[in-house]
A and B are shown apart, each in its own frame.
Chain A
Amino acid sequence: MNAIAQSFSLLLLGAALSGSLVWSCLAMAEPVPDAPTTAAADPHHADFRAYALFDKADFVQSESLLPPANTNWQSVALPDSWSIAKRDRRAGLGWYRFRFSHTGAQHDGKTAAQRAIYIPRITNNIEVFLNGSSFAVSGRLAPKPDNAWNRAQFFLVPPSLFKAGENELLIRLHTDGFPRAGISKVYLGDSDALNEFYQRRYLIQTTAPQIITGLLVMMSIFSLAIWARRRSEKMFLYFALMAVVAVIRLIHYYLRTTPDWLLLTAVPSLAWLTLFQMQFSFRFANFSVPRIESGLFIFCVISTIVLFIMPFAAPQFYGQTTMVVYLALTAASPFLLLALAYALTRQRSIENIILLTALILNGALGVHDTLAYQERLGFDRLYLLPLGLPMILFAVAALLVKRFVSTLSSYESLNADLARRVSERESQLQQSYERSRELDQQRATAEERQRLMRDMHDGIGSHLMSTLALARMGSLSHKDMTEVLADCIDELKLTIDSLEPVERDLLVVLGNLRYRLEPRLNAARISLEWAVNDLPPLTYLDPGNIRSVLRIVQEAFTNTLKHSGAKRITISTGIDRASSRVLVRITDDGVGVSPAFGNDMLGSNANKKPIDEKYAGRGIDNMKNRAAKLGGEVQLMALQGGGTCVNLYLPIG
């Protein structure tokens, strides 16, 4: 209810606007008499801007091309409409006579102003005579007449044709078969003053429709281009169609010569214009009433067919048919307007209101023009429908501007939003990265600590504990004590070395062990042969794994040093082709071992060296366990002819 009330009030507003527009147009074009307006008045007596307005004439219907003499003139009021006077327009020619007295002398061309004739409307052509001399035609005459029905006429009158006393102005009218033939009032007087009226009327009748045609063509192309890329927006298609139909309709208002086939489009184009205008407006408002649309579409199709056939089938009824079509459209327009008003006020935006106003205006202008066509508003009434079209263009332009601007600003705000979200996400990532790095660090530290603890526990810790136990029992010799302490320090050095990042280079690790152990080997008079070959980088060599490798090799050394009585140790490295593994081989020329190396040791040395017994036994197990953890293997072999061989296999990678 509320919506309808609002629609209604908007409708009223639109009506008021269009009414004022119509009024101002008419006011502009209508000459306001400021001088005696009777035919008897003498234009020569008035001031410079004076003119005479003829609202009466003598008329005779005659097929004579020359001024008819001694005929039966009848007085008629102007404007004179042949259809209202019920004359046979097919008769084709009629004569109008105007008489006025001229008191002044013969026009001398020096002192008096130039005279002119101004006729707001004729249908369709005229020839003008003054005192028997023809001096003007409105356009090409029969048999191929120009269209002059919507064209005001303005002729300069040759001054020499005036004479003193009674003057006679004759106008021969050609109906050219137009259904609404006739002539408006006739103005005679100062050419400047009349030219001004003529120019104003010409602007509204001809120039404005021409400009609007240009605009419509441009907008139509533009709109089609948009639709071609955005097929879902039917609005632009309908707008383009509407513009095209409007152009077809418009050219009839100003075209001087119209081909016959084009003449046929004059009335149907109005029906199509109404249809497309409605469809466009519904899409504009995101609304649709399919029943109305299809109903109007059917009406358009039928009326077009009928109007195309009629001139050939029954030309005498063409006028009535066009009237039926105009009346039908006029009758439908309030209802269409209401539906459109409802659709457009659902969402109140500036462009919707502009469009609605435009539609109301167009409706009002349509009604006006229909009334004008019916000659209810006077024969010389202006047709105003073309002037309503730019307002629709204005609405579309407003919509496009709004869309463009809002797209731009939403694009900008989207950018800003994206930037903000990116930076937010960045800082989140930064935070989580820092958290995880912290956690990683903590975990690494914990792991490292665990490894070191295990090392201390297995190595130096247990070493010191057992030494302490023995020392407490008083069963530890000075030499043993020195040795254990030296071992412990070696152990520490080994741990420190293992923390050096060697970048996967096993040779550096082994070399450093050699460097550490060499003084002790020298002291034991054991020579060392260093027969290493380059090795591929081992990616798994982190400090923990380095320590494991070092312990395994160190264990082999220790065993050799302490138990074998060897004089020579050889360390060699290389790739074991058979198993594709890195091989570290430590051989000595000592007493040799059985495969049960550790256990044998325990047996033979148990009594003499209790520390070593424990150390050696666990040492060999440790070697094997450590190698297994690295994904490798330790093999112990007795060599023929004495000596031991320890093979440490490590995976490549």
Chain B
Amino acid sequence: MTRVLIVEDDVAFRRRYAAILARDPAFEVVASVGTGGEGMAMLELRKPDVLLVDLGLPDISGISVIQHATKTLPTCESMVVTVFGDEEHVLASIEAGASGYLLKDASEENFLEGIRELIAGGSPISPIIARRLLKRFHADIDVPPSILPLERRAGVAETEADAAVGDSEIALSSREREILLLASKGFNYPEMGKLMGISPHTVTSHVKKIYRKLAVHSRGEAVFEANRMGLIRTL
């Protein structure tokens, strides 16, 4: 049973999320609140497995709620529910520790699928966000397209994966970079898995690592700068 906490100020959406989750017996909504303050209180009180949070809360930003959850309840997976899934919001959430995001207009099916993906590994990454992440990690995205077929390139990446240098906690491995590159070209996880010769499940776990790295990555300028050196060597 996955225990879910909903923090959403719009009553209609709150009800909708609860209704969708109620359809799947694997989920249990432990609380559904309308403010960040209440959300943080419930985090401590109910210790949910999953936090669904809206960013535009009346009292404090949803980002703060995510940060609080990351700090006090590391086992809890945070998930942002956004209107447009735009990069600014999504990246800010990931940096605060969120593992993924859902769109408010997602169908019931997609909504549940999103939460399931989140628990299994990581949320899908949109090409634009993948691109932003590559930039954020100072990975050179303007490398000329390789003349090698993607499969072959994946093979090269394989050997480089272990050779990932720098602080592996925050530097992108070449495998992770490969994933972001493919994601930025519009490939989904199964396609990436096929291209790289790994299972879709492995892809999602890599994505989850990327998310984690971004969160760590953005903790401070000093860390950021220190890593940059490592990242450059990684490339």
Interface residues of A (CB under 8 A from B): 486, 489, 492-493, 496-497, 500, 502-503, 505, 507-508, 510-512, 514-516, 518-519, 522-523, 530, 532, 534-535, 537
Q: How far is the CA of A486 from the CA of B105 in the complex (A)?
A: 8
Contacting pair B188 A530 (CB below 8 A): yes
Contacting pair B84 A507 (CB below 8 A): no
Residue of A nearest to B146 (CB): A534
Residues of A near B146 (CB, < 8 A) are 534
Q: Given A508-B184, A518-B188: A502 and B128 within 8 A (CB)?
A: yes
The answer to whether the Cβ of B60 comes within 8 Å of any Cβ in the partner chain is: no
Q: Which of A496, A507, A522, A523 contacts B127 (CB 8 A)?
A: A507
Closest Cβ of chain A to B158, distance in Å, is: 20
The answer to whether the Cβ of B221 comes within 8 Å of any Cβ in the partner chain is: no
Closest Cβ of chain A to B192, distance in Å, is: 10
Q: Which of A497, A512, A523 contacts B186 (CB 8 A)?
A: A512
Q: How far is the CA of A516 from the CA of B188 in the complex (A)?
A: 12
Contacting pair B126 A512 (CB below 8 A): yes
Contacting pair B128 A493 (CB below 8 A): no
Q: How far is the CA of A530 from the CA of B188 in the complex (A)?
A: 9
Contacting pair A492 B107 (CB below 8 A): no
Residues of B near A500 (CB, < 8 A) are 87, 128
Interface residues of B (CB under 8 A from A): 84-87, 105-107, 109-110, 124, 126-128, 131, 141-142, 145-146, 183-188, 191
Closest Cβ of chain A to B16, distance in Å, is: 14
Residues of A near B124 (CB, < 8 A) are 515
Which of A486, A500, A516, A537 has the most chain B CB atoms closer than 10 A to its own CB? A500
Contacting pair B86 A496 (CB below 8 A): yes
Closest Cβ of chain A to B155, distance in Å, is: 18
Q: Given A500-B128, A512-B127, A515-B124: A532 and B142 within 8 A (CB)?
A: no
Interface SS of chain B: helix, strand, loop or mixed? loop
Residues of A near B86 (CB, < 8 A) are 496
Residue of A nearest to B144 (CB): A534
Residues of A near B187 (CB, < 8 A) are 511, 530
Which of B84, B106, B191 has the most chain A CB atoms closer than 10 A to its own CB? B84
Closest Cβ of chain B to A561, distance in Å, is: 15
Which of B106, B126, B185, B191 has the most chain A CB atoms closer than 10 A to its own CB? B185
Contacting pair A534 B85 (CB below 8 A): no
Contacting pair B186 A507 (CB below 8 A): yes
Q: How far is the CA of A486 from the CA of B106 in the complex (A)?
A: 10
Q: How far is the CA of A492 from the CA of B105 in the complex (A)?
A: 12
Contacting pair A519 B110 (CB below 8 A): yes
Closest Cβ of chain A to B214, distance in Å, is: 18
Q: Given A515-B126, A530-B191: A507 and B184 within 8 A (CB)?
A: yes
Contacting pair A497 B128 (CB below 8 A): yes
Closest Cβ of chain A to B191, distance in Å, is: 6
Residues of A near B126 (CB, < 8 A) are 511-512, 515-516
Residues of B near A497 (CB, < 8 A) are 128
Q: How far is the CA of A461 from the CA of B211 in the complex (A)?
A: 37
Residues of A near B184 (CB, < 8 A) are 505, 507-508, 511
Closest Cβ of chain A to B162, distance in Å, is: 27
Q: How far is the CA of A251 from the CA of B44 in the complex (A)?
A: 117
Interface SS of chain A: helix, strand, loop or mixed? helix
Closest 6 CB pairs of A and B: A511-B186, A534-B145, A511-B127, A507-B185, A515-B126, A512-B127
Q: How far is the CA of A532 from the CA of B145 in the complex (A)?
A: 12
Residues of B near A519 (CB, < 8 A) are 106-107, 110
Q: How far is the CA of A258 from the CA of B182 in the complex (A)?
A: 106
Residue of A nearest to B183 (CB): A511
Contacting pair A510 B186 (CB below 8 A): yes
A-B contact pairs, 15 of them (CB 8 A): A497-B128, A502-B131, A505-B131, A507-B127, A508-B127, A512-B127, A514-B186, A515-B124, A519-B110, A530-B187, A530-B188, A534-B145, A534-B185, A535-B145, A537-B142
Residues of B near A507 (CB, < 8 A) are 127, 184-186
Residues of A near B127 (CB, < 8 A) are 507-508, 511-512, 514-515
Residue of B nearest to A510 (CB): B186
Q: How far is the CA of A586 from the CA of B49 in the complex (A)?
A: 42
Residues of B near A502 (CB, < 8 A) are 128, 131
Q: Given A493-B85, A515-B126: A503 and B142 within 8 A (CB)?
A: yes
18 more A-B contacts (CB under 8 A) besides A514-B127, A532-B185? A492-B84, A493-B85, A496-B84, A500-B87, A503-B142, A508-B128, A508-B184, A511-B187, A512-B128, A514-B186, A515-B124, A515-B127, A519-B110, A523-B107, A530-B186, A530-B187, A530-B191, A532-B186
Closest Cβ of chain B to A569, distance in Å, is: 13
Q: How far is the CA of A486 from the CA of B107 in the complex (A)?
A: 10
Residues of A near B188 (CB, < 8 A) are 518, 530
Closest Cβ of chain A to B153, distance in Å, is: 11
Residues of B near A508 (CB, < 8 A) are 127-128, 131, 184-186
Closest Cβ of chain A to B172, distance in Å, is: 18
Closest Cβ of chain B to A535, distance in Å, is: 8
Residues of A near B131 (CB, < 8 A) are 502, 505, 508
Q: How far is the CA of A486 from the CA of B86 in the complex (A)?
A: 17
Residues of A near B191 (CB, < 8 A) are 530
Q: How far is the CA of A510 from the CA of B128 in the complex (A)?
A: 10
Residues of B near A496 (CB, < 8 A) are 84, 86
Closest Cβ of chain B to A314, distance in Å, is: 104
Residue of B nearest to A503 (CB): B142
Contacting pair B186 A522 (CB below 8 A): no
Closest Cβ of chain B to A181, distance in Å, is: 104
Closest Cβ of chain A to B38, distance in Å, is: 28
Q: How far is the CA of A519 from the CA of B111 in the complex (A)?
A: 10
Which of A486, A489, A511, A535 has the most chain B CB atoms closer than 10 A to its own CB? A511
Residues of B near A522 (CB, < 8 A) are 109-110
Residues of A near B105 (CB, < 8 A) are 486, 489
Closest Cβ of chain B to A9, distance in Å, is: 84
Q: How far is the CA of A518 from the CA of B107 in the complex (A)?
A: 12
Q: How far is the CA of A511 from the CA of B186 in the complex (A)?
A: 3
Q: Which of B107, B109, B142, B186 contacts A515 (CB 8 A)?
A: B186
Residues of A near B106 (CB, < 8 A) are 519
Q: How far is the CA of A51 from the CA of B131 in the complex (A)?
A: 118
Residues of B near A530 (CB, < 8 A) are 186-188, 191
Residues of A near B141 (CB, < 8 A) are 503
Which of A496, A508, A518, A530 has the most chain B CB atoms closer than 10 A to its own CB? A508
